[in-house]
Structures are given as structure tokens and as C-alpha cells.
């Protein structure tokens, strides 16, 4: 490149540009480790009437020798892995491609193909993971309602609220998805002919503006909901019955 | 009076180096003011491009403390002044002299974008909700800060493969136009190289017009390309219903 040598350094930025990718790497990495451990453990996920979201829907199949979580987790994990927001997050924090703006990427100059070739070209099927994660989300709502049914009849415990909050946050995350925003109306060029889809697109767009926020709070939500059930199962805490 | 230390890049395509200057700080001063002070009082041959000094012409793009910014919009009181403020030309385009670069590549690739193509018998009636989306993209002042910061052009020098974020919002404006009839999806995938973008959003971060380049243009375009090339269900649907575009 024709410019001065100093500009060929890693960066001329002097602010703490490395902080954001570092924090993202630590938090996403921790979630990865926690969720892998919980999904493989195949234990401590059911304390009636609460079912951990990692195991919902609970599938008991005799032909499946591994943890039942693995039968479903591919859907929400695939949804997050191909999510436009998380792509930015992990391309920056794990692939350093680039780690921050105007900072030199890790990959050798010119060696980059982005999402134009395998494997990252597969990000284009994000919408199919949206559909699959939608099915799982439906069961999370079902399980939240099941958490109202105690042995002595209907009621509400802290766990019930936890599961409802989890389903609600995941719904906000899903409905703010870029693919959903496209499919619900963004693919139109003439909105005036489809007022309903225009209205829905407007709502999806409003949620989409905060997609990053929903991505993070729903991630914490699902991990904390699982942790709640885990701690109940281990007897570390006891559920408080509110109603 | 407080004094600011400025370190400006001085040189041309044969090379160059930083040169330090001291500039008296005045209230409300922007980086371009400091550059003008240097030009007027120290080095009359310092090359810098600017026109409006109102963040609207897009000429004064440079890299201030390593970040691509408009020099006329960056106030000195927003920068840490304990160390010298560095000003470099934008890195992605060939340097002509000092802070001035040759951005003509952008005008060249812009011409390759298939233009607005209305139907022959178009009735020139449009509704606000149909043109609103494109209005955001027309705020672009062609400062090329987004082109500069994009790592695909900046670090990987893929100028033959990737058209850059500014051009993608231009295509989005045309593709989403209610009266346009052309289908630019093949162009987007092949010539424009939209697949190269990994939506790391630096273009959006530096845009002085605060255009949501990734969220409102690049991602919707990626989704449109996915409709045609990566989604068998949509593909079938389009075959069945017929695409509205040629
Ligand atoms: S989001 Fe895409 S176009 Fe914008 S700077 Fe990043 S790679 Fe370039
Ligand atoms: S999109 Fe923004 S950053 Fe890019 S050229 Fe236009 S005004 Fe400049
Ligand atoms: S001088 Fe016109 S944008 Fe800065």
C-alpha cells in the first residue's frame, strides 16, 4: 500500500480498542464452555415442574445413547452461530478479522475470502436455523406454561417466572432477527401494496435496532434459567413458591 | 493559551514521515482548523483537501489518531491532548501528497453498477413509505471513510473482488426503489462480491452521516441474494409466483 510506514503498523489507534473484543471473547467463550458441559452432563435438568431450557423439549429416545440435549441444541446454537450479530462478535473477537476498526486483521494480507467461500458461505442458511429455533422456542413456551402446574395444583414459583422470562427474551431475540425482518416484509420494494406486511416490517425493524441487546440478554437469560434448575436439582437453593 | 501538538504525515508515493507542529488551541477548534493554522503559519505547501467545512462535501477524510474521520467534524476537545494528535491520509487509497489521496477508484467502480431502470410505461407516482428506505442511503456524502476502514479493501486490497460498503448502499437504494425493474442479485454476488463482507460493521461505525450501512443495506441485500441463491424454498416460490424483477 502506498502510504507511510507508520500506517502499516497494527494500528495507529490509541484508545482501548482491544477491550471490546477481549470481553466478548471471554463472555462468549464462558458461555460455550458452560453450555457444552451442561448439555453433555445429561443430569440435573428436571426439577418438577421446571425443565432446563437446554433440555426442552425433553426427548426420550431409546435409540439415542447420548444426552437428549444434543438432539435439540443444534437448532438454537446454529441460529446463534449464523446470527448476523454474533457473526460480527466472533469474527472480531475470535478470528480477529479484524479485531477492531482500522486495526490490522490476523489473516495474511489478501488471503481473505469472507463469506464468499466455504465454510462461511454457509452463513447464508441462517433463515433455516431461524425456523428450527422457532420450533424449539415454541416448546420453551409450552414448558413455561407447564411450570405453572405443581403437584397441589396451579401456582407460580420463582422458577416459573424464570422460565417465562427466558421464553420472552428468546422471543425478542428471534423476532429481532435480520432474516425474519427480511422475510416478513423487507423483501418487498413496494410497501404501499402490502400494508399489513409493511406494518409488521416496521415492528420487526424496531426490534431489530436492538438485536445486539436481545442477543446478549437472551444468552444470559437461557444460561441463568438452566443454572437455576441445576442449583435446584443439586439442592443448593430451594424454589420459593409465590402463589 | 493552551497549545496542541499535531503530528501530520508529510510525504508522497515515494515515502514520507510524521512532522510535529504546535498549534494554539481555540474554543470549538476542529482538526481541519489546526491543519489550516499549520498551512498558514508553518508549511504553506501542506496538501489537504476540503471544501465545505460543514461535514457535507466529504472531501476532508483522514485518519485522526488512527481512526478514519472527517477532519472538519472532529473537535480537538473530543481528543486526548496529552499526546500529539496524529493525522494521516486515508490508508486504503494511493497517496498523492501529504493528506490527499487518489479516490478515483470509487468513481470508477460506481459506474459499473447497473443504473436505475424504470419500466417504459412508468407512472411517476410514489408513496412515502416506498421511498423512505432509500432516503437514508441518499444522505451519503461520498467521504469514502467506509471504503477506507473496510478491512477487505484496506488490508486485503480486494479492489477487484469487492465493491465496498458505499457502493453497496448505492445498490440497496436502487434495488429497493419502488419503480426500479432491474434485478441486481447476480451483480451483487459476482461483481460486487457481497459475500466478502463479514458484517463486522466498521463501515457503520465510521459513517459521519450515521447511515446504518450494514443493518439497513448490506444485510437486507445479503438476504435478497440468499433468496435466489441459497434458499431452495424461496427459489421455488419465485419460480411459482414469478419474480417481480427482470
Ligand atoms: S461490514 Fe462489511 S462492508 Fe462494512 S466494513 Fe465490515 S466487511 Fe466492510
Ligand atoms: S456511506 Fe457514510 S462513510 Fe460511506 S461514503 Fe457515504 S457518508 Fe461516507
Ligand atoms: S470539508 Fe466538507 S465534509 Fe469536511
Q: Residues 5-24, chain A: which have Cβ within 8 Å of B?
A: 5-7, 11-15
pLDDT at residue A1 greater than cutoff 50: no
Average pLDDT, chain B: 96
Q: Are residues B111 and B93 in the same domain?
A: no
Has residue B138 got a pLDDT over 80? yes
Give me B44's grid cell: 504553506
What is the per-residue pLDDT for A2? 45
Co-location of B118 and B194 in the same domain: yes
Q: Could you report the per-residue pLDDT of A37-57, keeping only the tens digit for each? A: 999 999 999 999 999 999 989
Residue B224 and residue A179: Cα distance in Å, rounded?
10
Helices (H), B12-127: 31-41, 104-110
* B189: containing domain: 104-241
Distance A114 CA to ligand 1 centre (A): 10
| Contact criterion met (CB below 8 Å) for B245 and B174 | no
Q: Has residue A243 got a pLDDT over 90?
A: no
Task: Give pLDDT tens digits for A191-207.
Answer: 999 999 999 999 999 99
Per residue in B100-113, pLDDT tens?
Answer: 999 999 999 999 99
Nearest to B129 among A6, A178, A191 (CB): A191
Interface ipTM: 0.94
Q: Which of B101, B128, B150 is the last residue of a domain?
A: B101
Q: Among candidates A125, A135, A30, which has minimal Cα distance to A72?
A: A135
pLDDT of residue A5: 58
Q: Are residues B115 and B237 in the same domain?
A: yes
Evaluate whether residue B45 is within a structural domain.
yes
Predicted pLDDT at B74: 98
Residues B132 and B234 in one domain: yes
The reply to whether B75 and B129 lie within a common domain is: no
Residue A43 sits at φ, ψ, to 5 deg, of: -155, 160
In chain B, how many domains are there?
2
* Residues B207 and B152 both lie in one domain: yes
CB A83, CB A215: distance < 8 Å: yes
Same domain membership, residue B192 and residue B228? yes
Q: Are residues B115 and B214 in the same domain?
A: yes
Which secondary structure element, helix H or strand E, spans residue A84, and what is its range? helix A84-93
Q: Is it the case that residue B244 has pLDDT exceeding 80?
A: no
Q: pTM value?
A: 0.95
**Residue B152: inside a domain:** yes
Q: Is B246 a member of any domain?
A: no
Q: Residues B62, B86: contact at Cβ < 8 Å?
A: no
Q: Which atom of ligand 2 is nearest to the CA of B142?
A: 5
Q: Measured between CB atoms, which of A3, A13, A117 is closest to B89? A: A3
Co-location of B120 and B197 in the same domain: yes
Q: How many whole angstroms separate alpha carbon B213 and alpha carbon B166?
A: 8
| Tens of pLDDT, residues B58-83 | 999 999 999 999 999 999 999 999 99
The CATH number of whichever domain residue B67 belongs to comes to 3.10.20.30
Residues B85 and B132 in one domain: no
Among all bound ligands, the one having the nearest atom to the CA of B144 is 2
Contact between chains at A182 and B220 (C-beta distance less than 8 A): yes
Amino acid at each position: 500500500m502506498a502510504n507511510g510506514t507508520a500506517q502499516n503498523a497494527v494500528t495507529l489507534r490509541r484508545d482501548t480498542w482491544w477491550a471490546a473484543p477481549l470481553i466478548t471473547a471471554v463472555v462468549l467463550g464462558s458461555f460455550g464452555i458452560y453450555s457444552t458441559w451442561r448439555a453433555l452432563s445429561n443430569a440435573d435438568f428436571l426439577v418438577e415442574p421446571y425443565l432446563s431450557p437446554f433440555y426442552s423439549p425433553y426427548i426420550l429416545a431409546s435409540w439415542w445413547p447420548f444426552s437428549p440435549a444434543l438432539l435439540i441444541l443444534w437448532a438454537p446454537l446454529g441460529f446463534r452461530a449464523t446470527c448476523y450479530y454474533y457473526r460480527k462478535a466472533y469474527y472480531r473477537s475470535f478470528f480477529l478479522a479484524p479485531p477492531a476498526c482500522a486495526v490490522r486483521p490476523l489473516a495474511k494480507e489478501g488471503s481473505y475470502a469472507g463469506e464468499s467461500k466455504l465454510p462461511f458461505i454457509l452463513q447464508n442458511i441462517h433463515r433455516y436455523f431461524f425456523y428450527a429455533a422457532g420450533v424449539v422456542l415454541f416448546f420453551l413456551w409450552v414448558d413455561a406454561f407447564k411450570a405453572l402446574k405443581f403437584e397441589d395444583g396451579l401456582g407460580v414459583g420463582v422458577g416459573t417466572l424464570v422460565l417465562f422470562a427466558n421464553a420472552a427474551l428468546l422471543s425478542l431475540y428471534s423476532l429481532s432477527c435480520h432474516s425474519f425482518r427480511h422475510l416478513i416484509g423487507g423483501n418487498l420494494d413496494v410497501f404501499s401494496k402490502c400494508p399489513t406486511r409493511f406494518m409488521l416490517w416496521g415492528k420487526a425493524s424496531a426490534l431489530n435496532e436492538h438485536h445486539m441487546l436481545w442477543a446478549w440478554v437472551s444468552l444470559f437469560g437461557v444460561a441463568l434459567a438452566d443454572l437455576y434448575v441445576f442449583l435446584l436439582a443439586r439442592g443448593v437453593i430451594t424454589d420459593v413458591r409465590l402463589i | 493559551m493552551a497549545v496542541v501538538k499535531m503530528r501530520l504525515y508529510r510525504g508522497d508515493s515515494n515515502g514520507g514521515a510524521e512532522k510535529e507542529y504546535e498549534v494554539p488551541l481555540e474554543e470549538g477548534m476542529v482538526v481541519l482548523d489546526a491543519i489550516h493554522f499549520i498551512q498558514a503559519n508553518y508549511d504553506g505547501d501542506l496538501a489537504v483537501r476540503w471544501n465545505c467545512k460543514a461535514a457535507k462535501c466529504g472531501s476532508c477524510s483522514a485518519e485522526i489518531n488512527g481512526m478514519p474521520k472527517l477532519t472538519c467534524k472532529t473537535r480537538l476537545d473530543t481528543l486526548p491532548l496529552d499526546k500529539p494528535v496524529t493525522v494521516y491520509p486515508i490508508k486504503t487509497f494511493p497517496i498523492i501528497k501529504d493528506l490527499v489521496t487518489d479516490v478515483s477508484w470509487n468513481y470508477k467502480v460506481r459506474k459499473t453498477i447497473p443504473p436505475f431502470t424504470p419500466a417504459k410505461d412508468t407512472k411517476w407516482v410514489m408513496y412515502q413509505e416506498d421511498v423512505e428506505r432509500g432516503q437514508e442511503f441518499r444522505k451519503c456524502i461520498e467521504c469514502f471513510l467506509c471504503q477506507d476502514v473496510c478491512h477487505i479493501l484496506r488490508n486485503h486490497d480486494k479492489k477487484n473482488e469487492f465493491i465496498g460498503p458505499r457502493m453497496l448502499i448505492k445498490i440497496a437504494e436502487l434495488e429497493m426503489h419502488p419503480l426500479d425493474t432491474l434485478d441486481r442479485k447476480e451483480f451483487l454476488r459476482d461483481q460486487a462480491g457481497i459475500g466478502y463482507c463479514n458484517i463486522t460493521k466498521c463501515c457503520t461505525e465510521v459513517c459521519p452521516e450515521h447511515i446504518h450501512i450494514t443493518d439497513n443495506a448490506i444485510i437486507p441485500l445479503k438476504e435478497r441474494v440468499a433468496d435466489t441463491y441459497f434458499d431452495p424454498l424461496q427459489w421455488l416460490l419465485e419460480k411459482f409466483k414469478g419474480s417481480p424483477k427482470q
